[in-house]
Amino acid sequence: MRSATYILACVLGGSGCVLADEVVWSTLDQSDYYTMGPSCYLPGFEDSELADDFFLEGQVTRVYWEGYAGGSPETYGAFVRFYEQTPEGEPAELLYEVFVDSDDAGFVYNPVAPGNLDITLPTPFEATGWHFVSVQVHNSFAYWQVNQANTGAALHTAVRWRKDRATDEFAPFKGEHGNQGVHNNDVTMQLWGVPAGPGKIDSLSGEALTRSGRIVVNGGGFGEDEANSQLLIDAIPAIVVSWQAAEIIGYVPEEASLGQVEVRVQTPHGDTEAVMLEVEPRMLEGNLRWRFAIESDYTLHNPGIGPNGEVYINDLQGRVYALTADGALLWIVDALQGQVGGACEGPVVVAEDGTIYVAVNPLGPTVQLVALNPDGSVKWTHTDPFAKTVAGGPAIGPEGDIYIAFENMVPTNQGMVRLTPEGQVVWMNQGQPYLYEYGGLGAEIFFGPTELNSDVIDQVLITVDHDTQRYIHAFDLESGSQRFAEPVFGLQDAGLQTQVHVGHDGKLIMPEFVAAGLGWGLQTFDPDDCSRIWRFDPGIASGMSNPKVGVDGSIYFNWDLLRTSKVSPDGQEIWRHVPNEGIHSRAVPSPNNDLLIVPGLPTYGVSGWIKALDVETGAQVFIETLEDENGGRKVPEGDAIFSHDGASAYVYVDILGDAPGAQYCYLYAVATGESGCAADVNGDGALNILDFVAFQNLFKAGDPGADCTGDGALNILDFVCYQAVFGAGCP
């Protein structure tokens, strides 16, 4: 039996409390700080009521609502009511009503701040599907506001409200005075009870989805017991990233059969009735090979590329996703390891042995570097107990050790740290001045020689602004001693921190803003003492991107929104790409030295594109246009990163202005070769029987190119898959 102290602590603390055997409905994890209502009763003065819907087949025994009562009103009790729900989703006939006195043992609240109410019903309510529930407080102030949840993206039907129960019908909530837009929100609540069935699937996010595609299952009665429940697609457990009583978000299993398959939710109370889903192979048009939906509003840093071409992504919630080079989802793990906090503190990096390194930021003054094994299990965790975030890294040094720069506003953090692959600290240095980036978002760190044209890589470099003055810091790889901290001038690159890069001859290269000309220019420094060497300034007026260095030492960067320049290692401009329109960002050269990937968009407020330029001439090689989705526009973000063989480039694409509560982003895989049509197997530019013959020859030879399904096996399913690909044609 739980103590009164525990129960009171739950009511005071709000979300996360489970006071009964089984939670049958919950919106606690989606709550925010805004309120709706009131929902209050005071005879002769106030009789307002707020209601929200839920799904259950079974008994409701307990109701918990979160709210706010200003001051310290005397609370006399509360009405709990359950209503029938019409097919149109509106409250209808009153089915159950009870008043629970505040002196009753089943009424748990904090008399000093009577906001959150936990009410055990004297008799259970027998639920038969979708219903509305309301809680109406009777207190001395006639004031009680209810916390809102799922802001802008209510589950099923949004809250309904009426100002006067005697005269008004329930209607969408538009503010207490009716002068606001419709609040498409839920109440922050939790219901307990005894389910009599497994729930019901109402709809899926699409009638047809690809393998490893994001799927949203809408319905009700799925419960909150995710540990003992499964989302089954083609009788295969799906990877799930979000489980709620009315919504499950996961991914179509890669092993699912192509064609029509069944989708069910399995709970301890049985299986839901099946809903059919068409499973399709992954295929896009042109040079777009595949895309993967990330369950995150956006992500900031480059994915990591594994030794066999695997792609690893980290998102804002701390999840790490592992994909094959063909876009098949392998696993998702929580790098926060159950902690509450943020993630995506820096790029994902992968060692030659397949170890994956990511940085996460749990709540409190701690930041962690987490090492994951290739199967996603945790190898080790290193913690800086006094860091605010990550200034740079992680990165893998020339000897195979891991480097990361922790930062804080005060010199209590570890600073630049070198660790062995086993997680042992080799050295750490706070820096002088100590490492700190105002509004830091994390960045890459770089390694280079201390002498020009030397092959000996013996220092690690990072640039931070220390709030007001930017410095290039250089640390000796062997001892960790700081070699120099040279003041430079640099503003924040759009989206990420301005960083120093290292040229093939050892020069340090970075964008710098000085009080001369229009200000911006590409500045190089000697790696020994950070003295200036040459500066390239073509008349930059409105900013520039961080430079990127090609395999031949050429330097590429974007400037003044529209222009892309290629500069030689000695500072001479080789070519300049100036299209008629568009906003270009962060040109990245291929390791094959054949093209650049330059994401961008035609203008602000529209979806963008992914463009490729020829490294020799600057001419456009191809352009892939992105289309609006989910109520928003697709905009490429960050730097492209290439596969080891240069055959693919990976680009993050954010969806700006997408629907609240349904926010996700993409990683696109872009084919860098000339043919972007998977159906044209023989590459002759035409689709005919010869392509079937070519595919059959690949299959007979056991060539991986015949693995159309991407499941690692060659069988009849690959012929079915190729037939679908062929039928889709080429752009």
State whether CATH 2.40.50.100 applies to domain 396-495+497-545. Answer: no
The reported pLDDT for the residue numbered 452 is: 95
Distance of CA 416 to the CA centre of its chain: 27
Continuous segment of H or E residues that includes residue 361: strand 356-362
pTM of the model: 0.84
Do domains 4-195 and 200-280 share one topology? The answer is: no
Q: Provide φ and ψ at 124, rounded to 5°.
A: -65, 155
- Cβ–Cβ under 8 Å, residues 121 and 106: yes
Report the pLDDT value the prediction gives residue 4, as an integer from 0 to 100: 33
Secondary element (H or E) of residue 448:
strand 446-448
Domain spanning 200-280 has what CATH number?
A: 2.60.40.10
DSSP state of 431: T
User: Span 4-195: which CATH code?
Assistant: 2.60.120
Which tokens go with 537? 């300034």
Which of 3, 14, 24 lies closest to 118, judged by CA?
A: 14
Question: Taking CA 667 as the corner, what is the angle to CA 661 and CA 671, rounded to the nearest 5 degrees?
Answer: 150
In this structure, what DSSP letter does residue 435 have?
Answer: P
Q: Do residues 290 and 327 lie in contact, with contact meaning Cβ atoms separated by under 8 Å?
A: yes
Question: Cα–Cα distances in Å, from 711 out to 256, 325, 529?
Answer: 10, 12, 53
pLDDT at 325: 93
Q: Comparing C-alpha atoms, which of 548, 546, 542, 588 is closest to residue 562?
A: 542
**Alpha carbon of residue 288 to chain centroid:** 21
What residue spans define the domains of the chain?
4-195, 200-280, 301-385, 396-495+497-545, 689-728
Q: Say if strands 341-342 and 665-671 run parallel, antiparallel, or are unpaired.
A: unpaired
Which DSSP letter does residue 600 get?
Answer: E
Q: Would you state the pLDDT for residue 493?
A: 47
Task: For residues 621 and 590, give the distance between their C-alpha atoms in angstroms, rounded to a whole number.
Answer: 13
Average pLDDT, consecutive stretches of 10 residues, N- to C-terminus, the chain (731 residues): 34 41 81 83 91 94 92 90 96 97 94 92 95 95 88 90 94 86 91 90 94 94 88 97 91 96 94 95 86 91 94 94 95 93 88 96 90 98 92 94 89 91 96 83 89 95 84 96 88 62 94 73 94 91 88 93 93 91 88 93 90 93 90 90 94 86 89 69 68 79 71 75 74 54
> Could you tell me the fold of the domain covering 301-385?
Thrombin, subunit H (2.40.10)
HSE value, Cβ hemisphere, 13 Å, CA-based, for 698: 19
User: Distance (Å, rounded) from C-alpha 81 to C-alpha 384?
Assistant: 51
Other Cβ atoms within 10 Å of 522 Cβ, number: 23
